[in-house]
Structure 1
């Protein structure tokens, strides 16, 4: 998929370079390249984001819960002062 995206960027850059004004070139690049590719990558990345979320959720559930952060502190013994 990366090779197709790179080829499309190349084509759109050449299209934008032939526009009569700089503003038209920027708009051509934005609306023919940046916007469609960002939508495409967002849609195709949904499966990876879902798997990453499930992995993080399962890691969170497996981890034992602590009662409080103070339980992890070791003051070296003594009477607590």
Structure 2
């Protein structure tokens, strides 16, 4: 995933450099090119592709907060039934 993002950033940077160094180009045009072809698409792509990892980390944190670090289901009595207590 990151290799594609690095390659895309390189291409966008080269496009911006070509725009800035062109006789008809401007620095503002290079900045807009870098922003619209590089920063915005890459940030959107990395956000979308990072969703499964964020979800996995959030579930792991919730599981650890509940005291269930192993990721297994907790043993709870069925609904409607009271837990039995042994009297000593």
Query: What TM-score, normalized by structure 2, do the two folds share?
Result: 0.67
Matches within 5 A, 1:1-81: 1-19=1-19, 20-62=25-67
CA distance in 2, matches of 1:2, 1:53: 22
**Equivalent position of 2:80 in the other structure:** none
CA drift of 1:18 comes to 1.7
The secondary structure found in structure 2 opposite 1:41 is helix
The Cα offsets for residues 4-54 of structure 1, whole Å up to 9 and x where unpaired, read as 111111111111112111111011001101000000000011101111111
**How many residues align structurally?**
63
The alignment yields a C-alpha RMSD, in angstroms, of: 1.2
Query: What TM-score, normalized by structure 1, do the two folds share?
Result: 0.72
Structure ranking higher in helix proportion: 1
Unmatched runs of 5 consecutive residues or more in structure 2: 20-24, 69-88
Report runs of 4+ in structure 1 exceeding 4 Å deviation: none
